[in-house]
Amino acid sequence: MLATAESTSRASMVQKTVSSGGIESWLVEDYTVPLIALEFAFKGGAAQDPPGKPGTAMLLAGLLDEGAGSYDAEGFHRALDESAIEISFSADRDMLTGRMQTLSWNADRAFTLLRLAVTEARLDEEPFERVRGQIAASLKREINDPDFVAGRRFRALAYPGHPYGRPVRGELASLPGLTRTGLVAMRSSMFARDNLKIAAVGAIEAATLGCRLEDVFGSLPQKPELVPVAEAALSGTGTRHVEVIDLPQSAIRFGREGLARKDPDFIAATVLNHILGGGIFSARLFREVREKRGRAYSISSQLVTHDHAALFFGSTSTKNERAADSLAIIENEILDLSENGPTEDELDNAKQYLIGSYPLRFDTSTRIASQLTALQMEGFGIEYLDERNRLIAAVTLEDARRAAERLFGNGKLLIAIAGRPKGL
Amino acid sequence: MSIGELKPARQSLPSKSTAQMQERHQGPAITQAKLANGLDIVIIEDHRSPIVTHMIWYKCGSADDPPGKSGVAHFLEHLMFKGTRNHPQGKFSRLIAGLGGQENAFTSNDYTAYFQRVAKEHLGVCMEYESDRMKNLVLTDEVVGPERDVVLEERRMRTDSDPAEQLSEAVQAALFTQHPYGRPIIGYAHEIETLNLADAFAYYSRFYSPGNAILVVAGDVQPKEVIDVAERFYGSIPAQGGLPSRFRPREPAPRARRLVTLADEKVEQPLHQAVFLVPSYCTAEPGGAEALEVLAYLLGGGHTSLLFRTLVMERRIAVSAGAHYQGTAVDDSRFYVYAVPSPGVPLETLDCGIAEAVAKIASQGVDGADLQRAKTRLVAETIYARDNQAALARWYGASLAAGLTVDDLFNWPARIESVTADAVRKAAFWLDGRRGVTGFLLPAEPGSARKDAPSADALTN
């Protein structure tokens, strides 16, 4: 498995396989448990939703395992269940992801069903209406959910008029406008071999995997026809917005422009975010807002990178009466990091944690497949698996200070709140 | 620091009676031991990665909260991170983070568990600290006060901001008229507000001892070494004597059908839920819990289940529906059924549809192909589980904390395989409407919202 002792090369355990038709994948061969985990992703995702039709990619993903080839929806699920095969799809902002897990003796059947789902999903009327209804029900459930409301508002304010500002699951008002024709169009523009990254883990040889992948993906066109997505900078920094919901607690979302994944300071920014709000018990926000003052149960921050935008983003939920106070603490910590940077001690601790915990990301076959797919989607090579910790180790206090200044600047935030916050 | 509800035992080791018999020897090796002070040890070997999962499980949970002090088990779980004399607050967390380790804890009805995940060479560090805080916790009012506020914020987030969660709380309270499973794990807000250092310490002294705990270590370890290190750290804690008594009055046989309704202006999507009082793996007759497990799958486990096919695909009165058996419990437990209505469909219609599906299984039983599919799916989970060290550790810990044995888990696939169609048919009788509580989540009636009604916040302050 990929969680190696640090003296061992993680990259050396990954093989790059190429099928006869040129389909690449990363493989970790491991026969300890008789199963195969596969993950793959097509670039595109919800950012490709046509204007006025948010939710298209999500609905498409939801329908790929709802009937394909000669199977109707029930028949397809029955075929999966009879062999304990798991196939699922999901849409994210920049990609549409597929996952498969099978016991090794059912691999034939699993890859056959996967091929049908990828190339011959029927998108029948019954599942179309049903899955659309499920998405609508989930949106209705969240109309007054403070986390959802604050998160959606934050997105809309951060990226107005850009696909990243639209909800991935769509909107209640836009769902009725989605059509089968729209899904078919998206599928044919997005499902292409040049657009595909694949990772497999488990009981399968490279040559066999190549044949299977050829069978699943070989009939897809070579080139996708994606709509170009504009680069997006975060709007609204320095503004604060409240959606009133009659609740005892306020859900708070805050953020600023982030650093791109390939930015030379991204790794230093990662360490910095860990110091601010990435770790659980060690993070400044946890300590100041939760541990010392009891202002919140959950508080965290993260760096989010999309293909065309980068975001620093945080969240917490706090009693209405304390919302202003909690925000002041958060803003103060961010400004302090921007002006003074972290302490040497904080930097060392964060680096040690990020380096030492990297193996924990590679603890199951499905998680390994997911990590390997993500790396490929971000444009990294296999060698990055070994480079990553070296890059973290190389971050100096000076790097961290520079990244802090770039990331947190004047400390101003875009803030979206749902609840009845007092004093804001 | 979260509230854990484990799925029922859906996983186990491969068994000789399954089609995967040839894989049996490749399953994880399990080693058991018991220290002189009563600490049970279970070691699950997984040599694929140089990682170890270290967990300590206490056989006490929210159902052991004294009356009037709901939430104290969970509150103590939070306070367990406040340090000891040898490890003042934050010292261990900094140490573990410096090693790249992860740690946390969770509380459920019957157990409270603490865990760390680290590179295998750091197992001793985890044991040193975890054994220290088993008996040497130091609490002061200065740390107890803010942490109580944290728990109140947690409750506001999970329950007080979510009408669906408030309905679930009311449904559980209606199902259990006597037994403490009816109280929320996190506690009622007005009781959490009164919890203090003395309450937490009383619970701690009563339940936290080696004889009431299970050590689960999963990962790239040699059992003998694990036992040696455990002996060194945990072995030095004196035995506390007899196990703490638990006050668990048995629930009387339910006879009255109950409907709990929550209407709130914040609800836009109605929901139907039903909960039935059923035996657990610990209280059922032999084979009874396994039959309920199969029933849950056939009634409401995914797209091929009876509820999904009839309510969602054929009649289109629901957009989704499912069922779930919470079998891992010390006492009689719960079987859940839920459905999300299609627009405009009254919840009463779903209630009838669910009752009809249950009645169909109770009268006509299930067909052979369906039964086989259920068994294949359930038993396959035991192989998938072997891919996940942390999940295995959780499953063993939760099951053993509830009173099951390693043999029970080992033989689980064989017992699932031997469930008959008739046993599934009979299990459906547990879902008699008179044994359950139905919950309706509804939008507020137009005009019923009272401006002068106290808000949830006003009620809790």
The pLDDT, as a whole number, for residue A8 is: 73
Contact criterion met (CB < 8 Å) for A359 and B119 = yes
CATH fold match for the domains A11-217 and A240-419: yes
Rounded Cα distance, B25 and B449, in Å: 64
Residue of A211, A311, A207 whose CA lies nearest to A261: A311
By Cβ distance, the residue of B23, B50, B90 closest to A34 is B23
Average pLDDT of the residues in B428-433: 97
By Cβ distance, the residue of A82, A355, A356 closest to B376 is A82
pLDDT digits (tens, 9 = 90+) for A232-241: 999 999 999 9
On the question of pLDDT at B231 being above 70, the answer is yes
The pLDDT, as a whole number, for residue A212 is: 98
**Of A101, A132, A281, A316, which to mutate for an interface test with B (greatest number of B Cβ within 10 Å)?**
A281
Burial of A177 (0-12, 13-18, 19+ CB in 10 A): middle
Residue identified by tokens 């909690």 is A326
- CATH code of domain A240-419: 3.30.830.10
Is residue B121 annotated as a catalytic residue, yes or no?
no
Average pLDDT of the residues in B324-346: 97
Rounded Cα distance, B321 and A217, in Å: 33
Instruction: Establish if A344 touches chain B: CB-CB under 8 angstroms.
Output: no
Rounded Cα distance, A418 and A96, in Å: 30
Contact criterion met (CB < 8 Å) for B150 and A296 = yes
Neighbours of A58 (CB within 10 A): 26
On the question of pLDDT at A193 being above 70, the answer is yes
pLDDT digits (tens, 9 = 90+) for B347-404: 999 999 999 999 999 999 999 999 999 999 999 999 999 999 999 999 999 999 999 9
**Of B148, B384, B395, B451, which to mutate for an interface test with A (greatest number of A Cβ within 10 Å)?**
B384
By Cβ distance, the residue of B50, B97, B157 closest to A249 is B157
**Using CB atoms and an 8 Å cut-off, which of residues 31-90 of chain A contact chain B?**
32-35, 37, 73-74, 77-78, 81-84
- Max distance between CA atoms of chain A, in angstroms, equals 65
Contact criterion met (CB < 8 Å) for A146 and B93 = no
The pLDDT, as a whole number, for residue A6 is: 56
pLDDT digits (tens, 9 = 90+) for B442-454: 999 876 544 444 4
Q: For residues A319 and A401, is the Cβ–Cβ distance under 8 A?
A: no
On the question of pLDDT at B455 being above 60, the answer is no
On the question of pLDDT at B5 being above 90, the answer is no
**Of A141, A172, A318, which to mutate for an interface test with B (greatest number of B Cβ within 10 Å)?**
A141
B249 CA: distance to closest CA in chain A (Å): 33
Question: ipTM of this model?
Answer: 0.93
Output the average pLDDT for chain A: 96
Average pLDDT of the residues in B2-16: 35
Nearest CA in chain B to A249: B156
Q: What share of chain A is helix, strand, coil (3-state, %, to 5)?
A: 45, 20, 35
The pTM of the whole model exceeds 0.90:
yes
Q: For residues B213 and B59, is the Cβ–Cβ distance under 8 A?
A: yes
The pLDDT, as a whole number, for residue B8 is: 31
Q: Which residue has the higher pLDDT, B18 or A14?
A: A14
Q: For residues B81 and B133, is the Cβ–Cβ distance under 8 A?
A: no
Average pLDDT of the residues in A46-69: 98
Per-domain boundaries in chain A? 11-217, 240-419
Average pLDDT of the residues in A196-207: 98
Which listed CATH number (3.90.1300.10, 3.30.830.10, 3.60.70.12, 3.40.50.10420) goes with A11-217? 3.30.830.10
> How many angstroms separate the Cα of A214 from the Cα of each of A97, A112, A187, A387?
18, 11, 19, 31
On the question of pLDDT at B22 being above 90, the answer is no
On the question of pLDDT at B191 being above 50, the answer is yes
The dihedral of CA B278, B280, B286, B292: what is its sign? positive
Average pLDDT of the residues in A332-345: 97
The pLDDT, as a whole number, for residue A424 is: 85
pLDDT band of B18, cuts 50, 70, 90:
very low
Burial of B448 (0-12, 13-18, 19+ CB in 10 A): exposed
Instruction: Establish if A378 touches chain B: CB-CB under 8 angstroms.
Output: no
pLDDT digits (tens, 9 = 90+) for A165-188: 999 999 999 999 999 999 999 999
pLDDT band of B15, cuts 50, 70, 90:
very low
Residue of B367, B235, B281 whose CA lies nearest to B12: B281
Average pLDDT of the residues in A29-35: 94
| The amino acid at B418 | S
Give the least confident one: A195-204, A267-276, B233-242. B233-242
The pLDDT, as a whole number, for residue B7 is: 32
On the question of pLDDT at B23 being above 70, the answer is no
> How many angstroms separate the Cα of A30 from the Cα of each of A1, A172, A392, B163?
7, 45, 28, 46
Strand ranges (E), A24-152: 24-29, 35-43, 86-91, 95-103
On the question of pLDDT at B24 being above 60, the answer is no
Contact criterion met (CB < 8 Å) for A294 and B162 = no
